[in-house]
Amino acid sequence: MVSERDVFRMMEDFTIPRDAKVTIHASLRSVGGIEGGADGLIDGLAAYLSDGLLLVPTHTWATVNRENPIYDVRRTPPCIGSLADAAAFRRDGFRSLHPTHSMTGFGREAEEYLSGEENAKTPAPVGGALSRLAEEDGYVLLVGVGLEQNVFLCAVDEMAEFPFPGHLSRDPFDIQIYDHDGRRTLDRGYRCHANAGGSRGFPRFARAFQTTGATRIGSLGEARVVCGSCPAIADVMGRVLSRADRDPLLSKEEITEDLYLD
């Protein structure tokens, strides 16, 4: 049974500072038993990051779309698993107003860090909560899941200004957003991912990230954990995107060392 002490030990093994900003994607089933379940994992991570910020994705892209363009931060359930379900409506967290890629933050700076996400016109815009993890020495934890779950890589793609076409839908649409007080605003001209934003190709970066030290491997319970430095990941992936002559997210060609090493 994984305890809070085990969570602390994992974070310490990765040398993550107590004041860091950390986002996490997790398969709780892969971990095995966790004291307190999903809420227990959130409690442990938030306690370790006592001077930092824990960001749990609570995405709604499966249900908030062109056919159902309504996001209510108080009621719209996440579509990405039990950790998100637990985080979305906790009273000690603050859920962002991003209509399809919301996150719930735990920590003193949560509301300040996540404010303004209702103005996002894409899933992971430059200057948004995800992309700023690269500027603020953030970390991403993948607990029992692969790189295809790492939505921070979508932010890197946007930071690189989409050097290859086809990652976003062509036709924008408007989304109604209801905030924490029930006030309604309209997010005009939103463009969602096309082809899953190329996320199926994210695992092809694994070797590049590991070779350069952008990611490290550990464990929590029975789960394999990948810890990534957001600035380092952005640097490595950015090099590949700038050097490749074909879309590395959608092509089947190997990402060779000349694309990411100096």
Task: Please write the tens of the pLDDT for every residue from 135-189.
Answer: 999 999 999 999 999 999 999 999 999 889 889 999 999 999 999 999 999 999 9
pLDDT band, residue 49 (cuts 50/70/90): very high
Strand partners of residue 104: 56, 95
pLDDT band, residue 83 (cuts 50/70/90): very high
Flag whether pLDDT at 198 surpasses 90. Answer: no
Flag whether pLDDT at 94 surpasses 90. Answer: yes
From residue 198, how far is each of 63, 229, 231 by CA, in Å? 20, 21, 20
pLDDT of residue 196: 60
| Mean pLDDT over each residue of the chain, to the nearest integer | 96
pLDDT band, residue 197 (cuts 50/70/90): low
Flag whether pLDDT at 126 surpasses 60. Answer: yes
Share of the chain above pLDDT 90, in %: 92
Ranking 2-11, 96-105, 194-203 by mean pLDDT, the lowest is 194-203
pLDDT of residue 200: 85
pLDDT of residue 195: 67
What are the backbone angles phi and psi of residue 33, rounded to the nearest 5°?
-70, 135
Pairing of strands 173-178, 139-143: unpaired
pLDDT band, residue 252 (cuts 50/70/90): confident
pLDDT band, residue 227 (cuts 50/70/90): very high
Flag whether pLDDT at 191 surpasses 70. Answer: yes
pLDDT of residue 215: 98
Question: What average pLDDT does the segment 53-65 reach?
Answer: 97
pLDDT of residue 145: 97
Flag whether pLDDT at 121 surpasses 90. Answer: yes
